[in-house]
Amino acid sequence: MDQIKIGKFISACRKEKGLTQAQLAERLGISDRAVSKWETGKSLPDSSIMLELCDILGITVNDLLTGRKTTMENYKELAEKNLLMMRQSEERSNKAMLRLEVVIGVISGLAMFICIMTAALAGVNDTWVAILVAFGGIQFLVGAMFCFYIEKAAGYYECAECGHRYEPDFIPSMFAPHMGRTKHMRCPKCGKKSWQKKVLTRETEPDNE
């Protein structure tokens, strides 16, 4: 996406509506600095407020993501292009989060191992042994909780029975039997349990005809 082009388009639409950056920000419940960043191409509107922003400016999401008002002739083509770009952006973001999960897991596991080995080999008294083991255990637990949160938040799980993709609740996800990034859980749509694989986007890839 061309952030500079989108920013200029937001600015033009805002001015057409007779709104200042501060007034637009107030209606969206954000800071005018955020609006300024959009209009200078430094960032894009968050997806959570995109629909509301488009409604205020009197444009469609496709208009916003392409940086111009679309016509009926190119609407379908642009819609498919924007959907693909959003899917690719979500996939990149989720891949980065899952890589972070691995890094946190390795660091927390290594920290616990170092603390235990230090306690075992340093020749310290029982009090220090207990402190080192407890410290290592706490680091590992904190790291594990972060990993569980990332595992839940990054991507979705796909039901093997009905193909529904969803983000599971924290507790079922945390305690579900798993093999790698595949977990045995109950699908909230069909209600059946199955081994569900981790996928990076909510939407399935379009069929090539």
Alpha-carbon distance 101 to 66, whole Å?
33
- pLDDT at position 75, please? 64
Whether residues 126 and 176 share a domain: the answer is yes
16 within a domain of the structure (yes/no): yes
User: What kind and span of H or E run contains 193?
Assistant: strand 193-199
78 within a domain of the structure (yes/no): no
Residue 182 phi, psi (nearest 5): -110, 130
Counting DSSP H helices and E strands in the chain, the numbers are 8, 5
81 within a domain of the structure (yes/no): no
- pLDDT at position 129, please? 85
Say whether 30 sits in a helix, a strand or coil. coil
54 within a domain of the structure (yes/no): yes
Q: Residue-wise over 141-167: b if at least 16 C-beta within 10 A, else e?
A: eebbeebbbbbbebbbbbbeeeeebee
- pLDDT at position 209, please? 38
**Mean pLDDT value across residues 92-97:** 87
- pLDDT at position 149, please? 84
Whether residues 42 and 100 share a domain: the answer is no
Distances (CA, A) of 144 to 4, 55, 110, 150, 160: 40, 42, 12, 10, 27
Range of the domain at 124: 91-199
Q: In a 10 Å sphere around its CB, with 0-12 CB exposed, 13-18 middle and 19+ buried, how is residue 55 labelled?
A: exposed
204 within a domain of the structure (yes/no): no
Whether residues 60 and 100 share a domain: the answer is no
For residue 204, give the DSSP letter.
P
Whether residues 141 and 179 share a domain: the answer is yes
- pLDDT at position 206, please? 45
Report residue 177 as tokens.
């039997």
The CATH code of the domain that includes 47 is 1.10.260.40
Q: How many domains does the chain have?
A: 2
- pLDDT at position 74, please? 65
155 and 200 Cβ atoms separated by less than 8 Å:
yes
Whether residues 164 and 129 share a domain: the answer is yes
Alpha-carbon distance 26 to 20, whole Å?
10
140 within a domain of the structure (yes/no): yes
208 within a domain of the structure (yes/no): no
Report residue 86 as tokens.
């959003």
33-89 pLDDT tens trace: 999 999 999 998 988 899 999 999 999 888 898 888 876 656 666 667 777 777 788
Query: What does the CA dihedral 165, 171, 174, 176 come to, rounded to 10 degrees?
Result: -70
47 within a domain of the structure (yes/no): yes
101-148 pLDDT tens trace: 889 999 999 999 998 888 888 777 888 888 988 998 998 999 988 888
List the strands of the sheet with 182-186, edge to edge: 165-166, 156-158, 193-199, 182-186, 178-179
| pLDDT tops 90 at residue 12 | yes
- pLDDT at position 33, please? 93
| pLDDT tops 90 at residue 20 | yes
Whether residues 190 and 117 share a domain: the answer is yes
Which residue did the predictor score with more confidence, 204 or 155?
A: 155
Alpha-carbon distance 66 to 62, whole Å?
6
